[in-house]
Structure 1
Amino acid sequence: MIEISGLVKRHGAKVVVREVGFTAKAGQVTGLLGPNGAGKSSTLRILLGLDSADAGTALIGGKPYRSLRNPLRTVGSLLEGSGAHRSRTARSHLAWVAASNGIPRRRIAEVLDLVGLGDAGRKRAGAFSLGMNQRLGLAAALLGEPDVLVLDEPVNGLDPHGIRWLREFLRSYAGEGRTVLLSSHLMSELANTADHLVVINRGTVVHSGSVAEVSAGHASLEDAFFALTGEGR
């Protein structure tokens, strides 16, 4: 389970995350929905120990990310692409990631096949398309067979087939009792993927609940989103 409570983050005089709190439960896909600049990525970066909060807590299984031993065995994450150096092949990148957390090398071929890159293992990351880069990042996230997945805008660069595959994969992953938290500004995709939505705007949670609960009183999730965030005015 992911538990975020009273999270505050400032950049100088600007407050980018303001008293954010929500829970992402095991067995569910939780979607963090909001416009660009709403504070989604900042919240995830704090959760993953990449930034420090000015106040509040962000816990995974009751612990901060930085206290986890061999964290990739607990949490898999995808933020801003694969992180692979352009000169590295997909296999060499994953081998480095696996070695850093004591993950068996046999997992490299397994995750490459799982994400549809089985034939691209010897290809350099610099020659990858945006969609292939996203798939390589997901492969790295899955190396440790984690119980928690945290993904920021994971469908970026994927073609329709890839988007559909990822949607079905994430729902299946959560269906095995694991926790999936993903952020997106794409309402239609989260409506088809998430069990629970957290709507964030200007650094604050403005609504949360199932897709039906967030959409209640509106013609669609899109209409609810515009009403809650003031977008499109």
Structure 2
Amino acid sequence: MITIENLTKRHGSRTVLHDLSLVARPGRVTGFVGPNGAGKSSTLRCLLGLDRIDGGTALLGGRPYRELRHPLRTVGAVLDGAGAHPSSTGRAHLRWVAAGSGIAQRRVDEVLELVDLAGAAERRVRTYSLGMGQRLGLAAALLGDPQILILDEPVNGLDPAGIRWIRTLMRERARAGGTVLVSSHVLSELAEVADDITIISQGRVRASGTLAEVAQGHSDLEEAFFALTSPGAGL
């Protein structure tokens, strides 16, 4: 389970997260959405121990990220903009990640097959398309077969077949009892896969609950999103 309670984050004198709380439960896909600058990336970075927390807690399986004994076996994450060194091959990158996390090298070929990159494993990452880079990031996140999966804009650069594939992957991970937290701007796609939704704006939670609860009173998730994040909404 992912549990974020009263999370506060400041950049200098500016507060970017205001007592933000969120729960992502096992067996469910939780969508995490908000406009640009809402605080989604800051939240995920705090959760993954990349940014210092100024108040509150952000826990993975009941522990802060930095206290996890085997992080990659607990949580796999793909953050927007994060990736492998351009001069590395896909296989070399995954072998490096596996070695640093005490994961058997045979797992590298398993995840390459899983994300359909086995045929491009010896190519330099600089030659990968955006979608292939997304798949490589997912392969790294899945190396430790973690119970928690955190995805930031996972369909970015994917073609329709790739989007369908990532949707299936998220549902399968949830059905197996895993916890999936996904941040995306593609609301129509998120509505196809998410069980629960948290909407934030200006560093504050505007709505949180099941997809049906959040969309109640609106025609769909997109309509609810704009109503809840428009200027002055909830203020």
TM-score past 0.5 threshold: yes
Query: In the alignment, does 2:130 pair up with 1:145?
Result: no
1:75 maps onto 2:70 in alignment:
no
Q: Name 1:65's counterpart in structure 2.
A: 65
User: In structure 2, the residue corresponding to 1:119 is in which secondary structure?
Assistant: helix
After superposition, residues 17-166 of structure 1 pair within 5 angstroms as 17-81=17-81, 83-166=83-166
Unaligned runs of 5+ in 2: none
Q: Does 1:195 align with 2:195?
A: yes
CA distance in 2, matches of 1:58, 1:74: 15
3-state secondary structure, aligned to 2:35: coil
Distance 1:172 1:27, change over 3 A: same
Aligned residues: 232
Shift of 1:82: 5.0
Q: What is the deviation of 1:14?
A: 1.5
Letter in 1 for 2:191: A
Cα offset, 1:19, TM superposition: 0.7
Matched residue SS, 1:168? helix
Give the TM-score, by structure 2 length: 0.96
Matched residues in 2 for 1:109 and 1:191: separation? 32
| Divergent runs of 4+, >3 A | none
**C-alpha distance in structure 1 between counterparts of 2:179 and 2:222, whole Å:** 25
Letter aligned with residue 166 of structure 1: I
- The one-letter code of the counterpart of 2:4 is I
- TM-score for both structures, normalised by structure 1: 0.97
Tell me which amino acid in the other structure corresponds to 1:59: L
Counterpart secondary structure, 2:132: helix
Counterparts of 2:9 and 2:82, CA distance in 1: 25
How far apart, CA to CA, are the structure 2 residues paired with 1:37 and 1:164? 28
CA RMSD of aligned residues (A): 1.2
Aligned-pair CA distance for 1:210: 1.4
Corresponding position of 1:211: 211
The DSSP-based 3-state class of the residue aligned with 2:180 is strand
- Whether the aligned pair in 2 keeps the contact of 1:81 and 1:137 (CA below 8 Å) is no
Q: Which runs of 5+ in 1 are unaligned?
A: none
In 1, Cα distance between equivalents of 2:128 and 2:221: 34
Task: Among all aligned residue pairs of Structure 1 and Structure 2, give the percentage whose two residues are the same amino acid.
Answer: 60
**Contact in 2 for aligned 1:30/1:194 (Cα 8 Å):** yes
The offset of 1:116, in angstroms, is 0.9
For residue 70 of structure 1, report the CA deviation from its aligned partner.
2.0
Q: Which amino acid aligns with 2:59?
A: L
Distance 1:80 1:138, change over 3 A: same
Between the aligned partners of 1:82 and 1:130, the Cα distance in structure 2 is 12
Deviations 1:105-140 (Å, cap 9, x if unpaired)?
001010011011010110110100110000000000
